[in-house]
Amino acid sequence: MNEYKTIAAIDIGSNKISMAIAEISPDGNVRFIEDVKIPSSIGKDTFNEGRISAETIYETCDTLKKFSQLMKDYGIVEHVAVATSGMREAENSEYIIEQIRIKTSIKVKIINNAQERFFSYMALRSSIKEKKSLRNKPVLVINISSGGVEVSAQRNGKLIFTEYLKLGSLRLRETLADLESMTIDYPAIMEEFIESKLYLLKPLVNSMKIKHFIGLGGELNTIIKIIEEEISTDEEINYIKLDTLGNLYKKIRRMSSNQIMDMYDISKNEAEILLPSVILFNTFIKMTKAEGILAPVASHRHGVIYDIADKMSNGSSYVNDDAIISVWKIARKYGVDKKHASFVAKMALSIFDQTMEINQLSNKDRLYLQVAAILHDAGNYVGFTNHEQHSYNIINMQSLLGFSDEELNIIANIAYYHASKLPSRQHSNYVSLSDQNKIRVSKLAAILKFAESMDSSHTQKINKLEMIYDNNVLTICIYAIKDIILEKWFIEENLEFYEEVTGVRLEIRIRR
């Protein structure tokens, strides 16, 4: 790319629909041009009724028509539009997405919790990477949206852990709405409810002795707008003192939504979720030793823009490292043999890298293979019999940073075929894949089978392997430090499937 590229990112959230327009330079730097936000009732409908009403659908399409016109005014031909929990959990989301496509030409992609966290992470990384005071220290990051709360801890920009809780501000308001008329201290009930959902997370956060707290999400922007005169700003990062947040809580805990609207001149949507937002931030910050909240300018739509810029400048390996950290956390949870999984992953990636040109696979495929290799034996936690099915189920249940549900299913299928089974039209998990993904899964499963065979004894006897491709024959030289009769037998069992999938003849040579 030899010139600047202008792109738009649209975020269809539970409480608002927003769009960021930015220029991306040839080296991946981002300059934001415009940021637009319009209130929405999507989350209120979904969290109350499970469906989005016809009136809200009309309003959503009208809003996106305006966004579409704005993109035309800027001459934008490329955009990314994502929808989060309000749309994701609605029973009629497919209808709405189709109506949006027809009426506005905007193609909306519903993202899962892990992808939401990924985009927030991308925005956060870009906002605080130059802040020296946060280096070498653990930081708790709380991203509150209308539908949920992402809780993560980082050090030096690297992820330590991440969790997602269905405790969003609007969801809380709608879930506990019936209790408001039954008590004179509604905020106390809300606090008690939140605390009941955090009992497993609290000891972990407390043990880290965190002194730095970062807040994210549109709900925090409303708080900042209200207490603007009492906060300080440094390098586009706002700072809210703990006492300031506490004083705001004292003021609004006895006020109705209408009173909050009048006092702070905010919209009805903002007023309704202010109290649960303040309580949520207050609850989480009390788990730390932080004296206030750092609030950088970061959101999903900004994260989408930064993700595109990152890919243009080939910076995705940084994010992949954090994804793998999350994967190893899952592996530990399910008692995966780390030495065996590490060895299989190492061998699988070695095969992948040395045959990348032959198999015509991408760097994203490499990441799928690595995750499947680490988690292929996770099913042993459930039972040794049919453990590949258990691995498949476990992987599909996860919320992995940056992976869509479709991508998780690809990874689960790769792991499913790591042992004796071969992809078959008799398998519902395989049949449900697209034709392109059937080929992808088969190629990567063939590599994983090969790599797993090399450690059949779980004793890591093989040191390295080298591959030479000539005249449609792939010669694999295996360097072993011990006798590998068992491994050689398993390797030979899997040769035919690899040849069948890749169309390449294999020759195995054992060297010591």
Give the tens place of pLDDT for each residue, 8-57.
999 999 889 999 999 988 877 888 999 999 999 999 899 889 999 999 99
Which of 303, 335, 365 is the last residue before a domain boundary? Answer: 303
CB 16 within 8 A of CB 59: no
Whether residue 21 lies inside any domain: the answer is yes
Closest by CA position to 371, among listed 433, 328, 315, 317: 328
| pLDDT attached to residue 132 | 64
CB 486 within 8 A of CB 453: no
Using the predicted structure, report yes or no on whether residue 498 has a pLDDT greater than 50: yes
Between CA 407 and CA 372 the distance in angstroms is 11
Do the domain assignments include residue 349? yes
State how far the Cα of 412 lies from the Cα of 395, in Å rounded to an integer. 5
pLDDT at 361 > cutoff 60: yes
Give the mean pLDDT of 67-79.
92
Claim to verify: residue 258 and residue 119 sit in the same structural domain: yes
What's the whole-number mean pLDDT along residues 86-115? 93
Identify whether residues 147 and 291 lie together within a single domain. yes
If DSSP codes are grouped into helix, strand and coil, which group holds residue 52? Answer: coil
Dist CA 471 CA 489 (whole Å): 26
The CATH number linked to 128 is 3.30.420.150
Contacts with 321 (C-beta within 8 Å, 6 or more apart), sequence order: 158
Burial of 356 (0-12, 13-18, 19+ CB in 10 A): middle
**Interval 458-472 mean pLDDT:** 90
Distance CA(438)–CA(430), nearest Å, equals 7
**331 assigned to some structural domain:** yes
The pLDDT score that the predictor gives to residue 67 is: 96
> 339: domain CATH number?
1.10.3210.10
Q: What pLDDT is attached to residue 218?
A: 72
Q: 110: closest CA among 98, 102, 126?
A: 98
Percent of the chain at pLDDT > 70 equals 95
Q: Which residues pair with 497 in a beta bridge?
A: none
Query: What is the mean pLDDT of the segment spanning 384-411?
Result: 91
Both 225 and 327 in a single domain? no
Flag whether 341 is in a domain.
Answer: yes
Residue 2's pLDDT is 55
* Residues paired with residue 474 on neighbouring β-strands, in sequence order: 469, 506
Query: Is residue 310 assigned to a domain?
Result: no
pLDDT tens string 280-294: 999 999 999 999 998
- Mean of per-residue pLDDT scores for the chain: 88
Residue 309 falls inside a structural domain? no
Question: Looking at residue 1, what is its pLDDT?
Answer: 45
Whether 393 and 478 map to the same domain: the answer is yes
Q: Supply the CATH number for residue 90's domain.
A: 3.30.420.40
CA distance linking residue 423 with residue 383, whole number of Å: 22
Share of the chain above pLDDT 90, in %: 51
Overall residue count recorded for the chain in this entry: 512
Kindly report the backbone phi and psi dihedral angles of residue 99, in degrees, each rounded to the nearest multiple of 5, phi listed first.
Answer: -65, -40
Residues 170 and 58 in one domain: no
Whether the CA torsion 109, 111, 115, 120 is positive or negative: it is: positive
For residues 362 and 209, give the distance between their C-alpha atoms in angstroms, rounded to a whole number. Answer: 41
In a shared domain, residues 178 and 319: no
Residues 412, 444: Cα–Cα separation, whole Å: 11
Domain boundary among 94, 111, 128: 111
- Which of 247, 277, 303 is the last residue in one of the domains? 303
Angle at 125 between CA 266 and CA 210, to 5 degrees: 85
Give yes or no: residues 498 and 373 share one domain: yes
Strand order in the sheet with 505-511: 462-470, 473-480, 505-511
The type of residue at 502 is T
pLDDT higher than threshold 90 for residue 401: no
**Token duo for residue 162:** 């991440």
> 436-455 pLDDT, tens per residue?
999 999 999 999 999 999 99
Query: Which of 156-160, 258-262, 478-482, 505-509 comes out lowest in average pLDDT?
Result: 156-160
Query: Are 258 and 351 members of one domain?
Result: no
96-100, 134-138, 231-235, 447-451: which range is least confident on average?
231-235
pLDDT tens column, 108-161: 999 988 888 788 778 777 666 656 666 677 889 898 888 888 888 887 667 788
Q: What is the pLDDT, as a whole number, of residue 14?
A: 87
Domain holding 351, by residue range, is: 315-511
In a shared domain, residues 323 and 451: yes
pLDDT digits (tens, 9 = 90+) for 301-333: 888 998 888 777 665 555 677 788 889 989 999
What DSSP string runs through 171-220?
HHHHHTHHHHTT-S-HHHHHHHHHHHH-TTTHHHHHHTT--EEEEESHHH
Considering Cα of 384, then 387, then 390, then 391, what sign does the dihedral take?
A: positive
Q: Are residues 259 and 323 both part of a single domain? A: no
Do 358 and 432 fall into the same domain? yes
Residue 261 falls inside a structural domain: yes
Phi/psi of residue 469, nearest 5 degrees? -110, 125
Tokens found for residue 495? 């040769």
pLDDT at residue 393, rounded to an integer:
95
Q: What is the DSSP string of 213-275?
A: EEEESHHHHHHHHHTGGG-EEETTEEEEEHHHHHHHHHHHTT--HHHHHHHHT--HHHHHHHH
The type of residue at 511 is R
Three-class SS state of 293: strand
Q: SS3 of 99, please?
A: helix
Average pLDDT over residues 152-175: 82
Cα–Cα dist 80/304, whole Å: 8
Number of domains in the chain: 3
| CB contact set of 164 (below 8 Å; sequence gap of 6+) | 113, 114, 116, 117, 148, 149, 150, 151, 399
The amino acid at 261: M
Ranking 192-196, 252-256, 296-300, 345-349 by mean pLDDT, the lowest is 296-300
* Pair (215, 285) in one structural domain: yes
Instruction: Report CA torsion sign: 123, 125, 126, 131.
Output: positive
Burial class of residue 7 in the structure, from the number of CB atoms within 10 Å of its CB (0-12 exposed, 13-18 middle, 19+ buried): buried
Rg, Å, the chain Cα set: 25
- The two three-digit tokens of residue 173, written as one number: 């308001």
Residue 308 lies in a domain: no
Element (H, E) at 140: strand 138-144
CB-hemisphere CA count at 13 Å for 265? 4
